[in-house]
Every structure is written in C-alpha cells, then in structure tokens.
Chain A
Amino acid sequence: MGEVPVKLTVNGRPTEAEVEPRMTLADFLRETCRLTGTHLGCEHGVCGACTVLVDGAAVRACLVFAVQVEGAEITTIEGIASPDGELSPVQSAFRECHGLQCGFCTPGFIVSVTAFLRDHPSPTDDEIREALAGNLCRCTGYQGIFDAVRRAADAAGRERS
C-alpha cells in the first residue's frame, strides 16, 4: 500500500509524516523521528527494549504500527528526563544502583519502570520482579535493575510522606 498520513505527538512535539502502514511505531520513532533511543532487540514483542509510552501506557513499539496510534501522545526514552536534562528519579536510581552495563535494554526498562511506579507507587519486592519480567537484560543479571526500582519506589514513598 502506498503511504498513509499519520499525525501524532512525540515527546510533546507534534509530528506528521507519510508512512507505509507496515512501518512499526519503533521504526517510525527511530527513522522518521530520528529518535534512536528506542531499540530493537527482537522485533517480536518479548525483549521489551522498544518500550515506549502511548497515551501514558507502556507498550512494545515493535508490536504497534505507527498508523494505529494516529493522534496519540508518545513518550520515548528521550522524553523521560526533564527538558533541561535533569534525570528523572527512575533514571537517577538506575545510575546510582549500577542498573545498566551495555545500555541497550536500558531505555525499555526505564520507560517500563516509569509507567509501573506511576501506577504502583508502593510495590512489594515480588511485585517489582514480576513487573520487570517483561524486559530482558543480558548484562546485569537484573541485580542493579531491581535495586534501582526498589530505590526509586522507596524515594518516592518518602517524598509523599
């Protein structure tokens, strides 16, 4: 099929393009929007490296066609830190806790964890592990990643009280 117009907001910026329907949201972000922070680790919806927020929900961008999310607000890893570059609490926690090594899976984790903690601000350890199970890492053995989520949750908890 020829190209189809698609209009959506990416990290707060309105974006318009003409794309083939088969272009995944992941490829749209990487190639059309030049936002290469969203990574392709498997392209069949298991590794989670491509996770982005679509209208706030954590979603595997390799399993969505760009045309499906016409009108949506997309947040990628590039939109997680504040506009002046200050790391988000989740990003800071990953840094503090040695939660990344090669960094390839990291954007997917950061986005997933951001959504998870927003929706579950007081998770148990087991809930954290289950929430992390949708993202694969080969470098860290998940130790620093778990610690980072625990730390970010605890810090947010202290802030609220």
Chain B
Amino acid sequence: MKPAPFEYHAPHSVADATRLLAELGEGAKVLAGGQSLVPMLALRLALFEHLVDIGRIDELKGIERREGALWIGAGTTEAAVERSPEVASDVPLLARATPLVGHFQIRSRGTLGGSIAHADPAAEYPAVALALDATMEVASSRGRRRIAAGEFFDGLWTTTMEPDELLVGVSFPVRSARSGFGIEEFARRHGDFAIAGACVAVEVDADARIERCAIGLIGLGSTPERATAAEAELTGRPVGEVDAEEVGRLAMAGLSSVPSDLHGSAEYRRRVGAAMTARAWTSAASEARHG
C-alpha cells in the first residue's frame, strides 16, 4: 500500500509555511506527525499533489505560559505533552487524556496540533480542547487570528480554518483551585478510537456548589460536543448531591447525530456515552471536592 507521488516541501518558518499554503492552494496538505494522514495516503483514500511538512518549524514546538494560559505549539508531539510537568500541573485533563491517544509509538510522532486540526470526533484532544474552552491560534499569509474552541469544529473532520491557514498553537486555560477533572472512554481495544467517551471539568465554590462545569463528548457526533444543557442544569447545585448516572443521562439528551456503524448503533453509543460521562463525572467531582 504505497502512497501516490507528491511534491514535498519542508519550510523552516511559519511565514514560509503559510506562503506555501497560499501559493499551492487546494492541492496542498499540511504534514505534521502523519499518524492520521499517512495511513490515508497509503490507502490512497486521499490524494495531495503537495505535502507541506511543518516538522522543522521550531516556532511550532514548545509548552509555555503565555498570557496566563498554557500555550502548546501545534507541532509539539503528544509524547512531549505526556512528559510535560507543566501540562500535568496546569492542564491535568490534557495530561490524563494523553495516554489514551493511540499507543506510545503513535505519540512519538503525532502532534497536538495535528490531532486538533484533524478534528476526529472520536479523538481525545478535540474534546478536551472544547471542554476547556481552549483557544486555537492560526496563521496565514494574511496574518494571525484566534478561534475559540467552541467555534473551531465545524463538521466531520472539518474545522473553520481556511484552506490556507495553519494551526500554530493552542492555549489552554490554567486550572483553577477547587477544580477536578476526569476522562473516560470506551474503546474495543486499548488505544483504539473511542466508541464513546467523555471528559469532564468541574469547579466548585467554597460551599461545594458547582460554579461551572464542562462536559466534552467523544465519539457522539460528527464533531466533539459540549453537553451544554447538562452543564446548565448542573451549575449551581451542590456537587455532593449530584448523581453521576443523572449526569450521564443529561449529557446524552439532545444529541442529534450520534454515529451508527459496525461497532455499534447510535442507541448503543448513547448508553456507553452515558456510562462514560457518569464515570468521568465521578472522578472530576471527587477531585474538585477533595483536591
């Protein structure tokens, strides 16, 4: 299964990369870690005349505090995210999601930006970015702009980035005090894409009431989803009185495009999604209460 021929470009700066994307147009594709793209090329499910390898752009790598958030360069490998003490302390949900991403060999090459830009609804990082209201920083030959996670995922494997835009980094809010996080997913085998899953972030006030919460759903739509109705329902309630199963049920209500395929019907995915949400909620709530 050999890929079709392509022209290869390896820019060393964001400016060069965006210039190339503008020049080459629709026949060009960004090559980051390649863990999602290369299988598609090998299977000849996707064909591109030009690959723009962003692996040599130093500006895209790094994990650091910027403007009070934790900025992670789009070209940072998942392995680097996994090892990062900053991610572990500042964005624990991302740290906990990372070991669920494929296998360690995938994480050696796969990038945070690649995963988010690929926008697979069954992947972990898009749901985490959505749940945490991360901000995506994109660049093009026209300049830079920021897109809030809530406005980033547009459809199956589709984002609101323009065809010639490049994701350069993602800023994650740093965790606050009295917050808790959990991520649970169900996959057929360890490391597979989730059939359904949920990531949860909860923050409580001094009286253990839910000040805010976020539930990001994995594998339950054509994009990652926020269970906003459930979140609204839960906000303000004493965290100790919330039944995890109820959270699961609430989160599944209102989902309109749950996938159905060889691995399970939509109904099955809702059932699993409810259970995963309940389990993730339990972890997050416990951590928020007890630290």
B-binding residues in A (CB < 8 A):
1, 4, 20-22, 24, 27, 43-45, 48, 51, 54, 57-60, 62-65, 67-68, 70, 112, 115-116, 129-131, 133-134
Contacts and interface: CB of A to CB of B under 8 A. Distances in A.
Interface in B1-31: 1-8, 10, 31
A65 B103 contact: no
Interface string B223-239: 00000000000000000
B19 to A, nearest CB: 19
A21 B106 CA distance: 21
B191 A133 contact: yes
B42 to A, nearest CB: 5
Given A44-B42, A62-B42, A133 B189 contact: yes
Nearest to B108: A57
Contacts of A43: 1-2, 42
A131 B104 contact: yes
Contacts of A48: 103, 105
Contacts of B159: none
B104 A21 contact: no
Contact of B105 (A4, A58, A70): A58
8 contacts: A1-B7, A21-B5, A22-B5, A22-B6, A24-B42, A63-B109, A129-B190, A134-B191
Contacts of B5: 1, 20-22
Given A1-B6, A68-B34, A68-B55, A45 B39 contact: yes
B191 A59 contact: no
B106 A60 contact: yes
B283 interface: no
Contacts of B42: 24, 43-44, 62
A51 to B, nearest CB: 6
Nearest to B51: A21
Contacts of B4: 22
Contacts, number: 91
| Chain B interface category by residue count | 20 to 34
A19 B191 CA distance: 33
Contacts of B7: 1, 21
A24 B6 CA distance: 13
B156 interface: no
B35 interface: yes
A115 B105 CA distance: 9
A129 B35 CA distance: 22
Please indicate which of the listed interface residues B1, B38, B51, B189 has the most CB atoms of chain A within 10 Å of its own CB: B38
Interface string B90-110: 000000000000111110110
B39 A65 contact: no
A68 B53 contact: yes
A58 B39 contact: no
A48 B43 CA distance: 17
Nearest to A20: B5
